Amino acid sequence: MGRRNIQGGSKTKAMARKTSDTNTGSLIVPSTSEEKYAVVTAVLGSGRFRIITNEKKEHIGIVPGSMRGSKKRNNYVELNSFVLVNDRSTWQTQKHNSPADIFHIYAKNHADQLNLRSMFADNMVHSYGKLHMEDSLVAFENVEEVIENEKDTHEQVKFEDGDINLDLI
């Protein structure tokens, strides 16, 4: 009989057998006319994503089975991820929201080297979970006018007899 598992846990061999590290590998750039850069604008589920290419065309990005399952930990696609897609233009008619194959997900350092953030600045989805200082600053010329306007709007909701008009709320 062979030795027993002294390391414990499950899938220890599978996790140790990584073929390559995504952060230290070479940059993958489009090599054919079908391959294009894209940004993820919506997560649809079941390995499907709404993406916009650098040519401003919308596609449904599909993650292949070779990037799912246990390999998902190295190929995680999320909102505003930069991906390289194959749009299937040589053998499929291009329509609005036509499917495209995702075959590479760029790490943040590779996306910065390729200047993808500036290329897709207008297509990236704003993250509402984070507070941005530019969005939270509001300048008022006269603070007293703003306070008076707020008092007027609150007084319009109530009637003289104290009842509340539900249509104005």
Q: What is the pLDDT of residues 51-61, one digit of tens each?
A: 999 999 999 99
The number of distinct structural domains making up the chain is 1
Q: Does residue 39 lie in a domain region?
A: yes
- The first and second tokens of residue 4, run together, are 């027993």
Neighbours of 166 (CB within 10 A): 7
Q: 134 by DSSP, 3-state: which?
A: helix
Q: Does residue 79 lie in a domain region?
A: yes
pLDDT of residue 137: 46
CATH number at residue 90: 2.40.50.140
Strands (E), the chain: 35-45, 48-53, 58-62, 82-86, 98-105
Q: Does residue 90 lie in a domain region?
A: yes
How many residues are recorded in the chain? 169
Report which residue type is found at 35. Answer: E
Give CA–CA dist 169/167, Å, rounded.
6
For residue 168, CA distances in Å to 117, 147, 150, 152 come to 43, 20, 15, 13
Q: Does residue 164 lie in a domain region?
A: no
Q: Does residue 167 lie in a domain region?
A: no
Q: Does residue 53 lie in a domain region?
A: yes
- 17 or 45, which is more confident? 45
Q: Does residue 151 lie in a domain region?
A: no
Residue 67 sits in which domain range?
29-125
Q: Does residue 156 lie in a domain region?
A: no
With a pLDDT cut of 70, the percent of the chain lying above it is 60
Give CA–CA dist 85/144, Å, rounded.
55
C-alpha closest to that of 35 among 21, 63, 54: 54
Q: What is the pLDDT of residues 62-103, one digit of tens each?
A: 999 888 887 777 789 999 999 999 988 877 777 888 999 999
Q: 53 by DSSP, 3-state: which?
A: strand
